[in-house]
Structure 1
Amino acid sequence: MRKVKSLSDDGVVDVVRKWFSSLIASPPRLLVLGFAMIILLGAGLLMLPFSHTQDSAPRFIDALFTATSATCVTGLVVVDTGTYWTTAGQLIILTMIQVGGLGFMTMATLFAIILKRRISLKERLVLQESLNQTSIEGIIRLVRKVVVYALTIELVGAILFTARFLFDMPVGEAMYKGAFHAVSFFNNAGFDIMGDYRSLVDYVGDPLVNIVTMLLIILGGLGFVVLSDLVDFRNMKRKLSLHSKVVLSMSGILIVTGAALILIFEYTNGKTFAPLGFGEKLLAAFMQSVSPRTAGVNSVDIAGLRQATQFIIIILMFIGASPGSTGGGIKTTTFTALVGAVVAMVRGKEDVVLFKMRLAQERVYKALTVTLFAFGLVIVATMILSTTEDHQFLMILFEVTSAFGTVGLSMGLTGDLTVAGKIIIILMMFMGRLGPLTLTYALGRKQGRALYRHAEGKIIIG
């Protein structure tokens, strides 16, 4: 007799295959799935006996929180990285930071290049989405630059850190901590292994540690397209693009303005700046201004800052780094487009003009969409945590914004989060790393071009 296929045979395989094919049909969905798989794999590895120093394995929610924070290069931690995890566990976290910072597709493409395997069109499209590029032209060349720039900067940072740490610890420990912090800070992760959640508090007045840290954070947050432009500009091969000009100018404005305001508000604060000399105060002010650009490194007690300073940091965290970088937030270019639109409206101009170049209206709409999506996510998460967590509103808003901006700064709430609170922060870190628009495109159904336009109507604004 002929065997009749049942649903449990080839039919099920076909259904699963079709479902999986539709799941990874678009670059945004593949990015979401890829980051989720890395996080789950990392959480599983962190629960193994060789990863932690405790007699019993960590709770899955804590391992998942740590893995998400590392892969999404955030830096929020529920346990102290330097004492809770073994060297093997710290190396697992460091690997997730590197993969999460550069992007898993960038790492996969690197291995494909090494193995001389052809990069398919679909893989190029995913790379385009991952690196936030407008086209696939030159995308493989950009990947090579990304890897070379990242490894070179991290190596130089590791050497400088090691040279400084040799005065405080044995050679092996100095080299290990130098390499760990160079990778963590360049990728804007904010993880540190100094112990007891201290970050760089012990080095608040150290010029070398502070300057190297800030340079690593800034270089990681500018974006690889800007770094490539700067290298070519130095070689006199080309002029800076509009994108690079906007990123560099807005980054400089935010850093200097933030540092000036923080210095003013904290100058006489006995819990932070008052005991420091003027030079140390300047270093601390610039560090606390650079770090909220998604790095999560602090040289003073964040909980001891005045509320005005904490609110400034919230604003800086929400803006974040630049597109195509290792950082999060709505991005400097988005903020610049919004400011440009406001200036144009106030002046009665129709176009947004930046550096004598007109910005397409579509870009302004996208900037507005990203900002409203991000603002909505932060509001909803803050409202939920205000219900689940028994803490001050500003502390909760600070934590949520830090998670969304993949910053990692905290006023002390992370360790006290309930399970529900940890889940919300995990989701915020995940959405902040991928970006609200990427998630929307991944979860939504692709719409075709409209065949008609509605009649124009008018409403009163303002």
Structure 2
Amino acid sequence: MRYFKQKINNIKKNPYLVFIFGFALIIFIGTILLTFPVASRDGNSVGFVNAFFTATSATCVTGLVVVNTATHWSIFGKAVIAVLIQIGGLGVMTMTAMISFFIGKKISLKTRVLIMEERSVDELQGVVRLTKNILLYTFLMELFGALLLSLVFIKDYGVLKGIGFSIFHAISSFCNAGFDLIGNSMINYVDNPIITLAVCGLVVVGGIGYFVLWDIHVSKKFRMLTLHSKLVLIITGLLLFIGTGLFFLLEYNNPGTIGALDLPGKVNASIFQAVNPRTAGFNSIPLENLRMATAVITVILMFIGGSPVSTAGGIKTTTIGVLIISFYNLFKGKRDFEVFERRILPETTIRAAAILLISLFLIMIVSTILSVTEETSGFDFLDILYETVSAFGTVGLSRGITSALSTAGKLVVSMLMFVGRVGPITVAYALLRQNKFIGNYTYPEGKVIIG
């Protein structure tokens, strides 16, 4: 007993382990709830593996599904999924703080420290006020999105069902989850600007993050923004603009995607498909009909993902931004990596490179494992790679192979979704023990030839 108490105390002292176990606990609770027969519309349990996959996908705001969310789950099951999405989008510690607010309990110092780590805040002062602002901002954005979606959903599904659909999809969009209750994502609304632009708006706002939007509100002018906000806005804008243009050009005459739409419909669908690979997971056209080049571009967008301290996944826009700036300055022969009259610390570049390498390594390993476990299924490697990057980036887009995965494949993808949500660096920090015997010395330099 004393041994287990010591282990628990060690976990509590490590904020990274607390995050990991916090997400794992939420997934476990969600799995149990979704295995209940009452969670399924037909009254039969979906089974532990399928429930675990769904709970992981919802908590990690991914959107990959092994059963159709619209037709399989009961109202209870859909409510559980919505709650898991909201918890996963906001973060475990932020949700813990929200519950404390409602019951009138004071936020403990330990919880404040964990929130500070979860939100990547450098100062403990003002953490509670920050958490309240994030919660208010989140619920206001979701409410506004639900009101826009209700303009169409109430008309199509009636008042009660339309309101329920609006709330669910607003939560799913803002949290970049990609779960839908329609049955075929947003294909039915491919040329409906209200639905597609409302979803895109929620996805972008959720994927940019509270800190950037607050910085815009306070600074007013672009030159007054922090370097972080500038990089997020520039990289996000470039990815959306380039993604929209490439999708429009490559799929313009493809009858399986946007070929039959008029010009406004083509533009609308192109914008939608450029936005949602940024970790949202909705689609307005059949993804299995994409041209190979478009599918590859989508994989790249999914891999990059959204921005830090947001509801999005992927390696993040700032990671790519820092690496591009560092490479540019390196090739110019500069000693310091500079942009917008600011110097990027070497530690930041090293961290960005580490994230890129670890992420590529994970995707390579998991793609290889899935190629083995799904060998008899006859999937193309592009489909497997698409599924792998989608899981890692917590996107949720699929070329139709998720429900056909083997049990081993589902478990592997579930683990990848989990790592993608908490972050590979967080997992590394949590698992690697700190060296307690670091000496006050350095070794002589050793030269290594690169390139």
TM-score range, shorter chain: over 0.9
**How far apart, in 2, do the equivalents of 1:133 and 1:79 lie?**
38
2:386 equivalent to 1:401:
no
**How far apart, in 1, do the equivalents of 2:209 and 2:402 lie?**
28
Query: How much does 1:450 deviate?
Result: 4.9
Query: How much does 1:296 deviate?
Result: 0.2
Contact 2:315 2:359 in 1 (8 A): yes
SS of structure 2 residue aligned to 1:24 = helix
Question: 1:132 maps to what in 2?
Answer: 120
**How far apart, in 2, do the equivalents of 1:299 and 1:24 lie?**
44
Question: 1:459 maps to what in 2?
Answer: 448
Matches within 5 A, 1:435-446: 435-446=423-434
Count of equivalent residues:
447
**How far apart, in 1, do the equivalents of 2:191 and 2:63 lie?**
23
2:189 equivalent to 1:212:
no
Question: 2:411 maps to what in 1?
Answer: 423
Matches within 5 A, 1:52-451: 52-195=40-183, 198-234=184-220, 239-390=224-375, 391-448=379-436, 450-451=439-440
Query: How much does 1:22 deviate?
Result: 1.4
Contact 1:188 1:407 in 2 (8 A): yes
CA 1:278–1:118 in structure 2 vs 1: closer, same or farther (change >3 Å)?
Answer: same
**How far apart, in 1, do the equivalents of 2:217 and 2:343 lie?**
26
Query: How much does 1:231 deviate?
Result: 2.6
**How far apart, in 1, do the equivalents of 2:447 and 2:3 lie?**
49
CA 1:140–1:405 in structure 2 vs 1: closer, same or farther (change >3 Å)?
Answer: same
Residues 403-428 of structure 1: CA deviation (Å, up to 9, x unaligned): 00000000011011001100110001
Unaligned runs of 5+ in 1: 1-11
**How far apart, in 2, do the equivalents of 1:288 and 1:208 lie?**
15
**How far apart, in 2, do the equivalents of 1:354 and 1:424 lie?**
40
**How far apart, in 1, do the equivalents of 2:91 and 2:280 lie?**
17
TM-score (norm 2): 0.96
**How far apart, in 2, do the equivalents of 1:133 and 1:392 lie?**
43
TM-score (norm 1): 0.94
2:19 equivalent to 1:34:
no
User: Given residue 202 of structure 1, which amino acid in structure 2 is its aligned partner?
Assistant: N
Query: How much does 1:354 deviate?
Result: 2.2
SS of structure 1 residue aligned to 2:157 = coil
User: Given residue 224 of structure 2, which amino acid in structure 1 is its aligned partner?
Assistant: K
Query: How much does 1:446 deviate?
Result: 1.8
Contact 2:37 2:46 in 1 (8 A): no
User: Given residue 442 of structure 2, which amino acid in structure 1 is its aligned partner?
Assistant: R
Contact 1:133 1:324 in 2 (8 A): no
User: Given residue 277 of structure 2, which amino acid in structure 1 is its aligned partner?
Assistant: P
Unaligned runs of 5+ in 2: none
More deviation in 107-116 or 393-402? Answer: 107-116
SS of structure 1 residue aligned to 2:156 = coil
CA 1:190–1:455 in structure 2 vs 1: closer, same or farther (change >3 Å)?
Answer: same
**How far apart, in 1, do the equivalents of 2:276 and 2:112 lie?**
32
- Percent identity between the two aligned chains: 41
User: Given residue 81 of structure 1, which amino acid in structure 2 is its aligned partner?
Assistant: T
User: Given residue 86 of structure 1, which amino acid in structure 2 is its aligned partner?
Assistant: S
Question: 1:7 maps to what in 2?
Answer: none
The alignment yields a C-alpha RMSD, in angstroms, of: 1.6
**How far apart, in 2, do the equivalents of 1:290 and 1:118 lie?**
39
SS of structure 2 residue aligned to 1:50 = helix
